[in-house]
Structure 1
């Protein structure tokens, strides 16, 4: 009997060891892995080893930010601003986003690897191939060509010469490739179909048939006017989106994102289904400074999803709560997704009116999510987290209350003083820069 009991104990130990190993294999991603996921989705998948490549990317980002801040302070011709904005964007896209994923090597790369064995050892994520440097240079040159010959282009509107056609063709093709790399193939394929429709019209069924458009006319309309590439969406990106995204990114890097997550957990963690309710509140607070649902999901989900699973939420429900809360973050004022700015520009209404219209639906959406989470917690019998496992509320609130100052500046300038979104974002960024410079010395002194 003792031998049989010993065998049973050994069997149980082996089963426990196997379960622990499986649990470790299925462990939630670490903060570093989550940040890598944000980088892969939002900011590119490359992490080049070359110091020169790193510095070129960093300098381009700094130059782009300085340019946007300078034209916000001292505006220039709108068309020229859009030209430079697009030049920075397309250059960085080819340097940061690779042409293919490492595990799905295209045929032409496989053929090159057979001919040049040393090519196979290069990681597409760690190196920037020569062709990407060429594409980046061509993309920036084809955009800046309009700035270089701007005065002459005004006089020959509607009558493009041969260089105009060539540079416009290059920019259109490279934009389709840049969109494929950054956003996936769907948008590029859709855009290519609509571009092809200009030329294949005479060969289509009667309901879709048209006489066709010449290549030079199409490129002139897409490249040389403000109704194509340099239209309203790009103008909105130049005027509003970049500054608000820059403000949110700086506030998150300063520690504001983690502060809002800590406040949410300390406030709601002791309630039934606390981690899930904290995930909803944290995503809503993060949505105030981030117009991206993907960044919101990964930033807050790194902390909330493991805790939701810890208190008893199934993995699929924990993920669903986080995704639903983070998606709603795009409509949470004052910083919303790019669609809000484009909406204001196309409809011709102030951005403040869009903020007012979005405020109550956003709050109602989050209240509804909190109610759904509460019902799910009651059904599954989820217990609250002990207070000792959570940060103290008032200590957490006071520790990072200076992060509220830039948001207060943005809201005061936008709502109370009724300044433009550009001026409001600029003043908020200036206040945030001061806080980023002085917060560490002050915290160290205290």
Structure 2
């Protein structure tokens, strides 16, 4: 799309921290304080959140694919029509108010989910799942409206320390009356209290601890250039100096520092965090064993550097969505069967055909362009080492997801030379065009190898 400029900003971002004794993740220090969006990033998060939202429904796979494609295209078309193209902010034209109230509400909720996904992605949370993929024994009788939308996994765990898992509820408003700063703050607060707070500190599937929670409310007032993001988050008890107010508000651009803290100390803290992560990457070692129930999920002799370590169930749900978007139906189906505990008997090995470009073999495609009737169309693809790692883990753990999965780190300079391109940290990519001839590669899903 011809955005001018090519990136749109959401600069008015505020984090409201609520002390929570059961929280252990310091979300205040992790969450991004300003967002910059490109069209391709919006496509990724719209497609991903719509696919995630349908993962625990009674829809058939064909119905799910069709619904996600058609709804995603409709939302992206509306964004393209109503967004202020020449503004440097992610804001909307007055023309949006011509839509019926219920249609504008639907657009707002879906845009809100996508913006929340971008926020979590840029805050370092690499893997996500529909919250209904997890089983919380203490909440089995909970009504659907009280379940958070998603859970996000940072992937920053290791063999002894699990990665942080955060429950997230997303909200959105594109109304002159409801997209004000004060109303968005209240919207985020109410969503947190109603749908997130009870899950903080709980354990799902016997081993997945929810270490934090967050409600994210996005709003934009049509015609006035405003766009706002309010995040109401859990804070470890004693970690927030609320000054007796019950919650501390942090300003944008402070790198996670509380407002009373000096900018220099905040910058130093973030430098130390970045240095720690860099050391972890530089000291990466080979992973000889899988983390979970099956044998090692790296093929013998394969030299893959250690990367993100995610909870197995969240990783499997994450990549079930990725493979569905990419058109790799058999891979997605086998992951779904594992997640549901409904593994079918195999009389013959199950195969998945992938395609790759003769001009660049780092990415795998599962089929034709996404919504090829739509202009501009494009391709969802997956970074090849990420696909191999998760499918090796699947072959080694067919009946149930492993406790954890180690996945490769994406190169910082990952790019595509042939057109518009965006990649998320788990390897899901979007590209506007593919050059060169398609060559076919067949993956044996049963044995976990080409």
**Higher RCO by CA contacts (8 Å cutoff, separation 6 or greater):** 2
Per the normalisation by structure 2, the TM-score is: 0.26
More helix by percentage: 1
Structure of higher CA gyration radius = 1
More strand by percentage: 2
